[in-house]
Structure 1
Amino acid sequence: MGLTLAEVRGRRLAAQGLRAADGAAGLDATTPDEVVSRFLAVQSQEYLPAQWGLAQRLAADGRPSAAAVGAAIDRGDLLRTHVLRPTWHFVTPADAGWLIALSAERVHRANGTYYARHGLAGAVADRVLATIETAVADGHRTRTEVGAALGDAGLPSTGNALAYCLMLAELERVVISGASVGAQRTYAPFPERVPDVASRARDEGLAELAERYLRARGPVTERDLSAWSGFGLRDVRTALADAADRTDGRIARIDGPDGTAYWHDAEIAERHRDATSARPDEAAPPPRVDLLQAYDEYVMGYAAPRSYLLPTKHPSADSAEFPLHAMLADGVMCGRWAPTVGPRSATVRIVPWRRMSRAEVVARDDAIAGFERFLGRPIAVEVERVARH
């Protein structure tokens, strides 16, 4: 018999570190960079919410604050750069080099229209790279400082053009994220933060990508891996077959709820069996509410439509709606939430899609308290009336 949709949801919650056998959360990790290493790459467009996404996958009694996660990024324990698709991701220094090399060609192709629009080709692109390399040679530089150096050289230096100059330099392994200067992010020389490791053959890199993606997110379909990684289905199918071979079949297919073939890591599935299997002699566990960022790997780590995530009455909600993030009850979206963070306090706005039970309200307030501890400042809560859809 194949997996049910509820089983797919439960296994994904467990693999992602959002559930454990005792109903709590937390991976076998103690630091944010260990979380990122397990996931290989973690989408991180929204800087503070993405840090919360890392922290909430660590055991609650050892969960780091926002300041601690930010300090880890400043130290270079984890890095933030463009990889896999033309979007921000957290990666570790150990994985940054080979993963960028594996995906840079595809991201360059995706950026091609914008490179052409801003004249970033040939000699101009070479000058951009050389200018940025020189700009960061003596220290980490902010986006504004890099832009000024490009402007002094008569090169594209503002707005969207600057963004693509910097992405070009990231993909060519000239720069990567540096230490923050106040609220501003900086760029550092790539060799300073990323160890010089041997390059990997393309098929080897794709197989490792598939294996590590599955371990942190399975069970998944081929389309899920393709959407997350940016690689086409032909590459994905080869990568999954190679991953199965190199793990002696630990990575294997399993029937899904809709007749679609899913892939999973049998070792991870067995490890989390108690977290995803109900016993008839046990009382139902209390509900669990999660406040996830809109680009969380539980949300964006899979292809649309995300039937495991969405209640049947809200099919149109399968997208990010900033500044609203995703509020889940037992792994299914039950509304949105939006944090507004100030220097000394914060506000969390709750936008429910339906009435929540008393137990769910208690679980929701526990989740807000966890976010409050993460921020290290008091939170005022604003709950809107149930939205009509």
Structure 2
Amino acid sequence: MDLAELRALRLHVQGLRHPSDPSAPESVRRFGAVQAQEFVPAQWGLAQRVPHGVRPDAASVAADLDAGRILRTHVLRPTWHFLHPDDARWMLELSAERVHRANGTYYRSTGVDGADAVRALDVVARSADGGHRTRAEFATALADAGLPFTGVPLSYVLMRAELERLLISGANAGRQRTHAAFDQRVPPSAPRPRDDALADLASRFLDARGPVTDRDFAAWSGFTLTDARRALADVVERADAAGDPIETLDVDGVAHHVRASQLDRFASAAAGTEPGSAGAEGGTGAAAAEGPTIDLLQAYDEYIMGYAPPRAYLQAPGDSSVHAEFPLHALMCDGVMIGRWAPPTASAPSTVRVVPWRALDADEQRALEASVAELGRFLGIEPRIEVESPSS
């Protein structure tokens, strides 16, 4: 398999082509965890995996977050992720120790360590028992207890509380995020053996991002390469027993793993016979594009961050780098990064900024306009495109 074939298959498995996730919460469940530093763009990334006919808008995804059908917390690595509530407890139990170790230096440098950390966790847990609390409310409770944590130190207090399964995301209070008591938002479940939980995580990773390598899983999950290889071996063994074997594909001399059933569905979609494909009767997915497809992906989209560097599949033939111009997010053409984009801001509430790295032909311009219009429907605006030259 060459890089062009790898791109096409990953776009399909990710759900960026022929999307089939019935809702944003079910997309989160399928992926296991979805990187979510950029709050609203990450919600757009979930919506992109839902078929156009039933695709949610921003208000619908925000309602899922407010209701706790999607949760946002620090897990796997010291960064924000969306989780399904059914997965939050076991995934945090699996990864919290590693994230704590990664944060160790920062805990010590910010004073969120030792006896003060224990007291701070007790204070924020008691505060959350009374309802969903903003950062400012937690800061006030801590100050009243003689623990004046604000700014970055407060962020590490709250992250520690998340990892200890005391806090998790609550409903928005206007434009402010909140935390709620973990046990009020996450259903109870029995502890799981580490190897079983790690294999489940690897299975979700493979099912939503294949073809993948062991290095991809290690980089995404934060676990060691040894752990990654053992977990993927467990997935292969289980898949063989279930009659859905894992195929190994060679991409530039590197072994990539994908389920045989996904290869079959990809072939059906290419032939127009998979539900949701252009040629399949009654499908609800987007019609297969004739010509290029432009995707406006958030910078931390799983199509980008779900794989280990150097991510050569993102690069156009003959290009050896992914440029770093502002704006932040990723402008893609048929799975290749061709520029950056930025969503509307408070000062420009209808403007979508685009910084292409090369000129777009007429078909690509039409595809860009279609994608911006879809983003506008998600945000509930009539967008206009502002094209900028890349920085030198």
**TM-score, normalised by the number of residues in structure 2:** 0.91
Query: Is the counterpart of residue 297 in structure 1 residue 302 in structure 2?
Result: yes
Listed one character per residue, the Cα deviations across residues 77-130 of structure 1 (whole Å, up to 9, x for unaligned) are 000000000000000100000000100000000000011112333322221111
Offset, 1:226? 0.7
- SS for the counterpart of 2:314 is coil
Q: Which amino acid aligns with 1:264?
A: V
Aligned twin of 2:7: 9
Offset, 1:255? 3.0
Equivalent of 2:377, from 360, 365, 373?
373
Listed one character per residue, the Cα deviations across residues 300-330 of structure 1 (whole Å, up to 9, x for unaligned) are 11111111111245433266x5542111111
Query: Is the counterpart of residue 207 in structure 1 residue 195 in structure 2?
Result: no
Query: Is the counterpart of residue 259 in structure 1 residue 253 in structure 2?
Result: yes
**Distance between the aligned counterparts of 1:256 and 1:274, measured in 2?**
22
Aligned twin of 1:197: 189
Between 1:351-360 and 1:42-51, the stretch displaced more is: 351-360
Aligned twin of 2:346: 342
On the 8 A contact 1:310/1:318 being kept in 2, the answer is no
Indicate how the Cα distance of structure 1 residues 306 and 275 shifts in structure 2: closer, same or farther if over 3 A, else same: farther
Q: Which runs of 4+ in 1 moved over 6 A?
A: none
Offset, 1:290? 0.4
- Structure 2 unaligned blocks of 5 or more: 273-278, 280-287
Aligned twin of 1:315: 320
Query: Is the counterpart of residue 269 in structure 1 residue 263 in structure 2?
Result: yes
Q: Which amino acid aligns with 1:64?
A: P
Listed one character per residue, the Cα deviations across residues 215-259 of structure 1 (whole Å, up to 9, x for unaligned) are 000001111111100001000000000111122263535132211
- Structure 1 unaligned blocks of 5 or more: 21-25
Offset, 1:334? 1.4
Between 1:374-383 and 1:208-217, the stretch displaced more is: 374-383
**TM-score, normalised by the number of residues in structure 1:** 0.92
Structure 1 vs Structure 2 CA RMSD: 2.0
On the 8 A contact 1:344/1:378 being kept in 2, the answer is no
**What's the % identity of the aligned pairs?**
53
On the 8 A contact 1:211/1:240 being kept in 2, the answer is yes
**Distance between the aligned counterparts of 1:188 and 1:215, measured in 2?**
31
Listed one character per residue, the Cα deviations across residues 150-192 of structure 1 (whole Å, up to 9, x for unaligned) are 1111224111100000000000000000000000000000000
Aligned twin of 1:23: none
Query: Is the counterpart of residue 122 in structure 1 residue 122 in structure 2?
Result: no
- SS for the counterpart of 1:19 is coil
Aligned twin of 1:133: 125
**Distance between the aligned counterparts of 2:322 and 2:294, measured in 1?**
18
Counting matched residue pairs gives 376
On the 8 A contact 1:151/1:157 being kept in 2, the answer is yes
**Distance between the aligned counterparts of 1:318 and 1:243, measured in 2?**
36
- SS for the counterpart of 2:69 is coil
On the 8 A contact 1:78/1:92 being kept in 2, the answer is yes
On the 8 A contact 1:353/1:388 being kept in 2, the answer is no
On the 8 A contact 1:44/1:80 being kept in 2, the answer is yes
**Distance between the aligned counterparts of 1:344 and 1:150, measured in 2?**
37
- SS for the counterpart of 2:171 is coil
On the 8 A contact 1:304/1:318 being kept in 2, the answer is no
Aligned twin of 1:233: 225
